Structure 1
Amino acid sequence: MQIKKKITITYIVLSGVSTLALCLLVFFLFKQNNQYYFLKRLQDRAKIVASIHYQHDPIKAEYYQNLKKNGLEELINEDDFVLRVNGEDTFEYNTNLDLPSEFYADVMKNGSSWTVNSEHQYHYAQIFKESGQRYMVIVTARDRRGNTSLIYISRILIFGGLAFIIIAYFFGRFLATRFINPVSRITKEVKRISASNLHNRLPETEESDELADLTRTFNDMLDRLETSFEIQANFINNASHELKTPITTIIAETEIALLKERETGEYVTSLENINKQASRLGNLTESLLKLTQTGYDGKKQVQDIARIDEVLMDVKCDINKIYPNNRVTINLSNLPEDDSFLMLPCNRPLLELAIGNIITNGVKYSDNEEVFVTLSANKENIKISITDIGIGIPPEDIPYLYEPFFRGKKAASKYVGYGLGLPLAMKIIRMHGGELLIQSESGKGTVVNIVFTTAQH
């Protein structure tokens, strides 16, 4: 069922239920009001009948009779009876009164009561005393006007309720159309957007309602998708180019070597070139595989809990194997007294890889000058600061540092690399809930701060 129909039906049902409840309440209150005022009229007549009965003065009795006859509105089938009460439970009985025994018992117990039959004939009775003798006065009349009024108000409520439901149907359709049409327009625009035209956006408005938020959210999602598609396309193109170069070189070397028989030295030279390109290909493939280990969005479930100072010492041991004469100094003088502040849930091999890549960059791009690594930790976070005095990063290159295969002109002209180390490190650090902050000045060096928020673990 379409949402438009659901909204219309829901509105009709809610309106119908509300209207029915209101009609029943109005009918009940109107009936109670009619009944209350009719009984008050019967009560007034009962008092007058009692007054006439115990008046021994003919003039006063005639006055009350005229008051009853001329001062009060005549009721239909009006009659009155005065019955002598002989005891607690006995009284004179009038055969003209066909009333249930429960009615008389209630009058004798409470001093007054009333009842009504199916023909809307009311009977009101109350006890009064005259010269020490108790009497029961009963006044009876038919409330035809009240019954007619109830029928009239019932018809008004029924036809008015039906008319309101019909109006609610058209009003519900109007509301549904008004609320769903913007969603339909958004759906229509969304269907026109595909991978080939991700640059298209939904028209935004100045409104601050949910539909405007939906439009802005969808446009933000398109921005992210377009960026992701561009990054993916660039990544594939760059990866293809980087992989193709060593493969082409290897194939060319083997073809040249196989053209004719050569001296041993020539074969050795070809094999050395092939080995160099194969090693390059292996390193590049390994870097790409590690980059995919972090997941497309840089998130992967961690498995270990490690001391960050021990991680740094293991990274230092690995760097010592690659650069035996490195001048990396790790400062652990600011460690907290509470060792728990150094504990970090992590994927230890990937975390060591990320930190190692950053420190290795400091060693490589400073031509093996001093690199200072400082560790500090508290209850809220763990901070690793890596400082080198190398070539630095030009300001125009900083926005592209985390793009795979990007290398600055100065770095690419002098140093061998693939442009995968820093993007890989950034994704691994983000995977662990950390933040990578880089400050650099061309020709003066670089400061890299890695901050892990530990309060959330």
Structure 2
Amino acid sequence: MTIRTRMTVLFLGIFSILLLIFSAIIYFESEIYRQEEYKTRLRQEALTAATIIFNKNEISPDLLKLLDKNNVTALNQEEIIIYDVDNKVIYESGSDSTNLKHDILDQIRQEKELFWKENNLEMYGIVIKNNNKEYIVLASSVDKYGLQKQRNLALTLGFSALILVCVSAVTGWIFARRMLLPIQQMINKIDKIRASQLNLRLDEGNKADELEQLSIRFNQMLDRLESAFQTQRSFVSHASHELRTPLTAITGQIQVSLLANDNPADLKLMIQSVLDDVQQLNKLTNNLLDLTSIDADDTKFRHFLVNVLEIIWQIRTELLKKNPDYQILINLDDATDLMPEVKGDESLLYTALINLIENGAKFSPNHQVEINIKIENQALIIAFHNEGSVIPFNELNQIFEPFKRGSNARNTKGHGVGLSLTRRIVQLHKGQISVVSSKEEGTIFTLLLPK
């Protein structure tokens, strides 16, 4: 069942129930009023008959019957019966005797007056005292016109309710259609959105109601998806290029060595060159795998208390073994008690720190990088300073994008993946990374990690 049908059925059900309750209240209120009115008329007839019968100026019963039949106010099928103290009929206006059970007569004597209904015949009994004796005067009649009015009212209410239900069904269907028209338009627009047409957006209207708020959220989701698709395309394109370059170089060198008759020394140099390319390729592959694994799921990493200073010293030792010409200086802030511990993933923090330290030493002319560590506002702040070429101001934010390198790095080996991986790791640890570069101060990468 569609939402439109459900809304129509729900609207129709609620309206029908309310209409039924309203009609029932009108009918039963009218019936109660009719009974009260007719009860009053029967009471008047009973009192009138009793007054005439028990009048000191006696009137013959036959004359009284004649008066009852010719009275212009006589009710339909009216009958007056008077019972004495022994429940014997002492007067009856009609020829059709109404046989009452003694328990009803006893109830009338107990309650002094009683109104009840038998089939269409409505009856009223009252106790009248005369000469210290209690008589029961019973008046009965059929409210022909009142019951006919009630039947007409019931038919009127029934037909009116049926017509209103039909009208409400049509109007409810139209109303539901108009209410759901924006959703249908959204569905039609969404059907047109493809991977090749992610630039399409839903109409946001005046941004007032809930459906337009939903359109805004959906457009925001499309913005994120489009950005992710563009990043993925760019990533695949750049990754393919970066992987193809070392593979082509390795293939060319091996082919040349197979064709040439080189001496062992030249062959050794070629093998060393191939090894360097393979190492670069291996490093690039590992960085790409780390970057994609972090982007795919950042909830699987477990955070423990990690001593950042120990990791930095470990990195320094390993880099100096591979590159003895590197100069890695570590300065600690003595102004405060330094406890360089943060909650995080040790292997990821190692990757981020070694990228920053190695880049600082690699891009510095004298291969020197200075690391300053301090604690400020419950945050561990690590600054990596080098005297390398100045990064242009308009490129400072781009160098953190995958495969984006500054113009100062054209003559330096690299693939532009390390800094993007570092930023993603820092974000995963709820930290911040920034960079400033000038001729006066050099280049400073500042890493902030919450303690």
For the superposition of Structure 1 and Structure 2, which TM-score range results when normalised by the shorter chain? 0.7 to 0.9
1:289-438 map, 5 Å? 289-296=289-296, 299-303=298-302, 305-308=303-306, 310-323=307-320, 325-329=327-331, 333=336, 344=343, 346-358=344-356, 361=359, 367-375=367-375, 383-390=379-386, 394-410=392-408, 412-413=409-410, 415-432=412-429, 434-438=430-434
Q: CA 1:30 to 1:369, structure 2 compared with 1: closer, same or farther past 3 Å?
A: same
The offset of 1:26, in angstroms, is 2.5
Task: Call closer, same or farther: CA 1:343–1:258 in 2, change over 3 Å.
Answer: closer
Checking the alignment, whether the CA contact within 8 Å between 2:380 and 2:448 is kept in structure 1 is: yes
Q: Which range is displaced more, 154-163 or 396-405?
A: 396-405
Residue 96 of structure 1 corresponds to which residue in structure 2? 97
1:246 paired to 2:243: no
User: For residue 317 of structure 2, what is the amino acid of its counterpart?
Assistant: N
SS of the counterpart of 2:200?
coil
Which sits farther off after the overlay, 239-248 or 357-366? 357-366
Aligned to 1:62: none
Do the aligned residues in 2 keep the contact of 1:299 with 1:430 (CA within 8 Å)? no
Say whether the 8 Å CA contact 2:127–2:135 is kept in structure 1: yes
| Deviation (angstroms), 1:343 | 7.1
Q: CA deviation at 1:420?
A: 1.9
Alignment of 1:46-445 (within 5 A): 46-52=46-52, 55-56=55-56, 73-85=73-85, 91-92=87-88, 96-118=97-119, 120-296=120-296, 299-303=298-302, 305-308=303-306, 310-323=307-320, 325-329=327-331, 333=336, 344=343, 346-358=344-356, 361=359, 367-375=367-375, 383-390=379-386, 394-410=392-408, 412-413=409-410, 415-432=412-429, 434-438=430-434, 440-443=436-439, 444=441, 445=443
- Aligned in 2, Cα 1:39/1:273: closer, same or farther, shift over 3 Å? same
Identity %: 24
Match of 2:41, as an amino acid? R
Segment of structure 1 superposing worse, 253-262 or 414-423: 414-423
CA RMSD in angstroms comes to 3.5
1:103-137 Cα distance to aligned partner (Å, 9 max, x none): 3343233333221122x211112334334322322
Distance 1:163 1:267, change over 3 A: same
Going from structure 1 to structure 2, the CA distance change for 1:400 and 1:260 (only over 3 Å counts) comes to closer
Tell me how far apart the structure 2 counterparts of residues 398 and 70 of structure 1 sit (CA, whole Å): 116
For structure 2, list consecutive stretches of 5 or more residues without a partner in the other structure. 60-64, 91-95, 322-326
Whether contact under 8 Å (2:116, 2:123) holds in the other structure is yes
Give 3-state SS (helix, strand or coil) of 1:140's partner.
strand
**Per-residue CA distance 1:131-150 (angstroms, 9 max, x = gap):** 43223222212111221112
Give the distance between the partners of 1:165 and 1:429, measured in 2 at CA.
Answer: 65
User: TM-score with structure 1 length normalisation?
Assistant: 0.81
Check 1:149–1:400 CA distance in 2 against 1; reply closer, same or farther (3 A cut): farther
Relative distance call for 1:425 and 1:112 in structure 2 (3 A) is farther
Cα distance change, pair 70–437 in 1 and its aligned pair in 2 (3 A): farther
The residue type paired with residue 113 of structure 2 is S
Change (3 A) 1:171 1:9: same
Give the length in aligned residue pairs.
Answer: 429
Cα distance in 1 between the residues matched to 2:362 and 2:106? 112
Q: Which runs of 5+ in 1 are unaligned?
A: 60-64
Rounded Cα–Cα distance in structure 1 between residues aligned with 2:112 and 2:399:
99
> Which deviates more from structure 2 when the two are superposed, residues 352-361 or residues 127-136?
352-361
Q: Tell me the amino acid that sits aligned with residue 404 of structure 2.
A: F
Measured in 2, the distance between the counterparts of 1:348 and 1:257 equals 43
Structure (1 or 2) with the larger CA radius of gyration = 2
